[in-house]
Structure 1
Amino acid sequence: MIPLMLDLTGRRVLIFGGGDVGARKAAHFSHEAEVTVFSRSFSPNLDGLTIRRQEGDLSALSDEALRDLLSGAFLAVAATPDPELNDRIGRLCAEAGVLFNNAAGVPGDVIIPSVVRGNRFLVAVSTYGRSPAVSRYLRMRLEADYADLDRMIKLQEEIRPMLRETEPVQAERSRILWAILSDGEIRVALTADYARARAMAIERYLHA
């Protein structure tokens, strides 16, 4: 598999199954895509999400009815507790050219990763479905160990154009930016006082 980051604005995503698993999948997409959750019942975890609910019994639908539901979809997620039903949805997705993620059953062609998201960065972690616990552990470690990352990215954004004005050699600019990133005192300062960290970076690395 090849990791990609896709803009799903305006894309239609279908979630089959409205339980807790379906709710997690819906939460992953609802901030950007147009999400419809199809299910007989709906988890309270779906409350507050920007989604459309469509009530119905998936197991009672014919293949033709499922194809109609898939029409116009960019991606579908099978999140029912029935692996056979999920696999059936996956086969229909393959026929229709719809990307497919399977929560239980034969793996689809899309893996939904564990995500660490900041205002200026996005990190996706996957164990190819082999260990969701490890994916969650890595996500939690990244969130805890790099709490200053958003501010560091902001600092680098500000420093880069300053360096372009004063340092003509690209390799030297890269070295300075890496030194700022590796400076433990600046990293500590970023967690509490951005202005102080910025001043330290300028004094140490631009006025040296």
Structure 2
Amino acid sequence: MAFIPIMLNLTGKKCLVIGGGKVAARKLKYFVNKADVTVIAKNISKEIKNTKGVMYIEKEYSPGDLEGFDVVIITTNDKKLNEKIHHEAKKKKILTNNATSKIFCEFIMPAIIEYKGYTISISTNGENPKKVKQLKEKIKKFLEGLDV
């Protein structure tokens, strides 16, 4: 896979998160207050339900639910369903991030540090999220020691 870092303008974009658990809650934070966000899942966590600016629909995903969306974040724990959603989105030319497979997505989401007007992203191209998290914490501590 050949990923490059980009900054995506979400103004006026509609984002769909499919899945209602911890991964969905973590990923939707990237989009809240930046895009129009909808979550579809049979079971939606209280954390997601309590997130301001997020519309949610409690139901199982079904073909056609992608209609009208610009970006889709796929976070179900069913890999086969995630692949089907990705293929449907690809046919509609909708950007996807699939939490269970970097092969079945158009973009990956790096760890992000926002500090005093700067945005720093860190990625291992989907290879080692644990190391990214560790590096993120080290960079945050380093930045706090600087007078930027």
Instruction: Give the structure-1-normalised TM-score.
Output: 0.65
More contact order relative to length (CA 8 Å, sep ≥ 6): 2
SS of residue paired to 1:70: coil
For residue 74 of structure 2, the aligned residue among 78, 93, 99 is 78
SS of residue paired to 1:4: coil
How many equivalent pairs are there?
Answer: 144
Instruction: Kindly indicate which of the two structures has a greater share of residues assigned to strand.
Output: 2
Q: Which amino acid aligns with 1:137?
A: Q
Find the aligned partners of 2:47 and 2:69 in 1 and give their Cα distance. 23
- Which of 1 and 2 has greater Rg? 1
> Is structure 2 residue 60 aligned with structure 1 residue 57?
yes
Structure 2 counterpart of 1:35? 37
Structure 1, unpaired ranges of 5+: 153-208
Specify whether residues 7 and 119 from structure 1 end up closer, same or farther in structure 2 by C-alpha distance, changes over 3 A only. Answer: farther
Greater mean deviation of Cα atoms: 99-108 or 131-140: 99-108
> Is structure 2 residue 129 aligned with structure 1 residue 126?
no
Find the aligned partners of 1:43 and 1:138 in 2 and give their Cα distance. 29
Structure 1 counterpart of 2:18? 16
Cα deviations by residue, 1:38-66 (Å, 9 ceiling, x for unpaired): 001111221234211011112xx2xxxx2
> Is structure 2 residue 61 aligned with structure 1 residue 92?
no
Q: Percent identity between the aligned chains? A: 28
Instruction: Give the structure-2-normalised TM-score.
Output: 0.90
Superposition RMSD in Å: 1.4
Instruction: Kindly indicate which of the two structures has a greater share of residues assigned to helix.
Output: 1
Alignment of 1:181-192 (within 5 A): none
CA contact (8 A) 1:18 1:42 kept: yes
Q: Which amino acid aligns with 1:102?
A: N
Find the aligned partners of 2:109 and 2:52 in 1 and give their Cα distance. 18
CA contact (8 A) 1:27 1:49 kept: no
Q: Which amino acid aligns with 2:16?
A: L
Cα deviations by residue, 1:98-134 (Å, 9 ceiling, x for unpaired): 0010011343111011000123100011111111111
SS of residue paired to 1:6: coil
